[in-house]
Structure 1
Amino acid sequence: MKTIVVACSGGPDSMALLDMLNQKQNYNIIVCHVNYQKRESAFRDESIVKEYCLKHNLSFHLLKPIYSSSQNFQAWARDVRYDFFEQTAKEYKCHQIFVAHHMDDLIETYYFQVQRQMICDTYGLANSMIRNGMEIVRPLLGYTKKELEEYCIHHKISYGLDESNFTDHYTRNKIRHSKIEYMTRSQKEEVCKEIEIKNKQLEEFRNQIKDFLISFTVDELLDKEYSWLYLDQYLYDRMKIHFSKRYLMDLIDKLKKDICIDIKDFILERYHNHLYCEKKKEKVYYIINQMEYKKYKEFELKKEGKTIEGIFVKEEDFPLVVRNAEKGDSILLRYGTKNINRFFIDRKIPHYKRRNWLVVENCKQKIIFVPGIGCDVQHFSVNSNLFMIQYIL
């Protein structure tokens, strides 16, 4: 029997979903309920779900989070509940979470996206989606809200109504009350067809963008009519985040010249008409107390290698320190002192790579080796006893 997690708020839509799945009798159902303790009726809803689970011998899991974040409550609540659903699913080694979004939710989301001019992967709601390796399943998108309420009444299923849905405090509520509640089923179906057409067009356009992004220059991207959408796809492929049009247009303006921009945990860089986006890495600092041949996360110390990778290390050099290159670092070569930053410039190495470049110091804090340059004059030998390969470039 397949094990699934069912998200159940106690409202008519999720109670209808829970009962429909339970009637199939071919699922081991794990029920998850979140009580945010923000409404007086929240404990009533908790009891409704709990009593249904007791009556039908279903596993019931409850979360009572306390809101203490500066984040928007709705966004915080969504993250909290989905993290809870995913954690519960992992405990039971299942990979599907069923949620009760219906046709009205689908249309509401679509109107919300259009009103906000949002960048999205899908207009409305997809039948299923992957979140952190877990499949989120929406089997009720073919049902209206009214039909699910009628299902509960017909099958004598208890449910609660969230009083916050009756206000126009949230934009989604305004859309629901001013548009969707007055639509007939056939009108809703027409909107669903419109959404389907929009999604096909969106997919075709996204594919065009992805083909372009295989090989491009920054100037070519900036010349595109919808350059901000191209940039959004580029960033999403690497960061898994969509940004607002306003923010993307600001980036487009900045990318007209060589620049390095911090974006959350990433670095976006234009360098010689090419675009780079890399996740920021932690600073490297290793102490090597004795001669060893070993693999590290960022580099490897070997017994053999190419001449430029080699160095003759003396006993009095230990302990060695392997760290990131810093401004002002230099190394003494046979033809004189080489500033490491000048090496970066001469080789046209992007800034994001420069931040991750390594150097090796001896116990006197003297740089004796730099990947790509080689060792200093005092440690050069045709019989090198240590070779270093840097991985992070």
Structure 2
Amino acid sequence: MVKILKNNYIMVAVSGGPDSIFLITKLLKKYQKIIVAHVNYHFRKESNQEEEFVKLFCQKNNLIFESLSVNQEIKDKYLKINKNQEAFARLIRYDFFKEIANKYHTNYLFLGHHKDDFLETAIMQEKRSNKYLFYGILKKSTYQNLILIRPLIDRYWKEEIIEKLNKNLIDYKIDKSNFSDKYLRNQIRKDLFLLSLKEKEKIFKYYQNLNKANEFKRRKIEKIFKNWKIKDFEIIFFNNQNTNIKEALIYKYLSTEFIDQNISINKNKLDAIINFINNNRGDKNYRIKNNIFIKIKNKNLIIFDNDLIIKS
């Protein structure tokens, strides 16, 4: 795991489901100053029960419990940014995490993603494009001021987590919407559920090998992207890169600076975005999806919703 100073707080996102409960039980053995962050969207009738379950878990284990109850006012505010339920829920969640991180002066956020999550994401990415330099979910990444840490991502499959929880008589909650056919991810999840661990492991290694082959290029892009970010996404810096680097920077920009990672970009759209930036028209906007736009302001790239700047 990541080396964190003894006096530092860490934050853990806990829904009450098996993944996050398994994660927190692991972290309890290693860290003392733990903040549990829980978001209640009130999407389902079980939501209040799950919040109470997490709250009681924290009381029993002497953990700090921070929760957000998402009322209609909050939903309306974020729906203006993105009307997709998964996307606006993610925006709400990460804004809350940033708020709690600031409150306790920490930027470490632990998440319960596991090998099934890695595989689901990798398959979704490959269906959308072959331009990714990394398929799946990184064990450690950043989102704005947060350091995201996923200790389970390359160690446990979902069924292994549930088996261990059941064996140790550790209670957890199940979100039945995870099995709905409404979302592409859930459809992929159902398909993977039919596979054996051996079959899933074979697919997992396939994506690991892809990532290994792209590692040198990915590290190069990350270094260039870091410099671009330091320059507040300056257009002059972007235009000085070659076409392949520009394509990779746009993918990186949309996936790390804007939390809605469901953006799908084909080659034509990617070329159109690069042309838009190259033309440097400050009075024009480029629509990414729904009501989300790219704009050039003061010679820097920003993403915005009408007059609301999401990330500059």
2:166 to 148, 153, 164: 153
The answer to whether 1:232 aligns with 2:247 is yes
Q: What SS does the corresponding residue of 1:39 show, helix, strand or coil?
A: coil
What residue identity is the alignment partner of 1:146? E
The answer to whether 1:99 aligns with 2:111 is yes
| Stretch of structure 1 that moved more, 194-203 or 242-251 | 242-251
User: 1:69-108 alignment to 2 at 5 Å?
Assistant: 69-70=79-80, 71=82, 72-108=84-120
Give 1:79 shift: 1.4
The answer to whether 1:26 aligns with 2:31 is yes
Query: Identity over the aligned pairs, expressed in percent?
Result: 32
The answer to whether the Cα contact below 8 Å between 1:110 and 1:124 also exists between their aligned partners in 2 is yes
User: 1:121-270 alignment to 2 at 5 Å?
Assistant: 122-141=134-153, 142-178=155-191, 180-206=192-218, 227=243, 229-235=244-250, 240=257, 244-245=265-266, 246-251=268-273, 260=281, 262-263=284-285, 264=293, 266-267=295-296
2:63 to 46, 58, 62: 58
Q: What SS does the corresponding residue of 1:125 show, helix, strand or coil?
A: coil
Higher radius of gyration, 1 or 2: 1
Matches of 1:103 and 1:217, distance apart in 2: 35
Render the CA deviation track for 1:117-141: whole Å, top value 9, x for unaligned.
2754521010010111221100111
Q: What SS does the corresponding residue of 1:27 show, helix, strand or coil?
A: coil
Instruction: Name the counterpart of 1:46.
Output: 51
The answer to whether 1:8 aligns with 2:20 is no
Give 1:98 shift: 0.6
Could you say which structure has the higher strand fraction?
1
| Stretch of structure 1 that moved more, 115-124 or 143-152 | 115-124
What residue identity is the alignment partner of 2:9? T
Change (3 A) 1:164 1:185: same
Render the CA deviation track for 1:160-218: whole Å, top value 9, x for unaligned.
1111112111000000102x112222222222222222113333445677999999998
The answer to whether the Cα contact below 8 Å between 1:10 and 1:48 also exists between their aligned partners in 2 is yes
Matches of 1:152 and 1:60, distance apart in 2: 22
User: 1:344-363 alignment to 2 at 5 Å?
Assistant: none
Matches of 1:122 and 1:8, distance apart in 2: 26
Matches of 1:33 and 1:212, distance apart in 2: 35
The answer to whether the Cα contact below 8 Å between 2:128 and 2:264 also exists between their aligned partners in 1 is no
Matches of 2:280 and 2:104, distance apart in 1: 48
The answer to whether the Cα contact below 8 Å between 2:238 and 2:246 also exists between their aligned partners in 1 is no
Matches of 2:276 and 2:107, distance apart in 1: 42
Matches of 2:277 and 2:54, distance apart in 1: 53
What residue identity is the alignment partner of 1:147? E
Matches of 1:147 and 1:163, distance apart in 2: 19
Could you say which structure has the higher helix fraction?
2
What residue identity is the alignment partner of 1:41? E
Give 1:248 shift: 1.6
Change (3 A) 1:26 1:76: same
Q: What SS does the corresponding residue of 1:16 show, helix, strand or coil?
A: helix
What residue identity is the alignment partner of 2:158? K
The answer to whether 1:278 aligns with 2:300 is yes
The answer to whether the Cα contact below 8 Å between 2:134 and 2:218 also exists between their aligned partners in 1 is no
Matches of 2:238 and 2:173, distance apart in 1: 56
The answer to whether the Cα contact below 8 Å between 2:98 and 2:145 also exists between their aligned partners in 1 is no
Render the CA deviation track for 1:327-367: whole Å, top value 9, x for unaligned.
xxxxxxxxxxxxxxxxxxxxxxxxxxxxxxxxxxxxxxxxx
Matches of 2:52 and 2:221, distance apart in 1: 49
Change (3 A) 1:62 1:182: same
Change (3 A) 1:259 1:185: same
Change (3 A) 1:7 1:206: closer
Where structure 2 has 5 or more consecutive residues not aligned to the other structure, the ranges are 1-5, 228-235, 286-292, 303-312
Change (3 A) 1:185 1:120: same
Change (3 A) 1:65 1:120: farther
Render the CA deviation track for 1:227-279: whole Å, top value 9, x for unaligned.
5x5432354677856872232233467799x67363446439xxxxxxx9634
Change (3 A) 1:265 1:247: closer
Q: Which has the higher contact order (CA 8 A, sep 6+)?
A: 2
The answer to whether the Cα contact below 8 Å between 1:238 and 1:277 also exists between their aligned partners in 2 is no
Where structure 1 has 5 or more consecutive residues not aligned to the other structure, the ranges are 222-226, 269-275, 281-393
The answer to whether the Cα contact below 8 Å between 1:44 and 1:160 also exists between their aligned partners in 2 is no
Instruction: Name the counterpart of 2:309.
Output: none
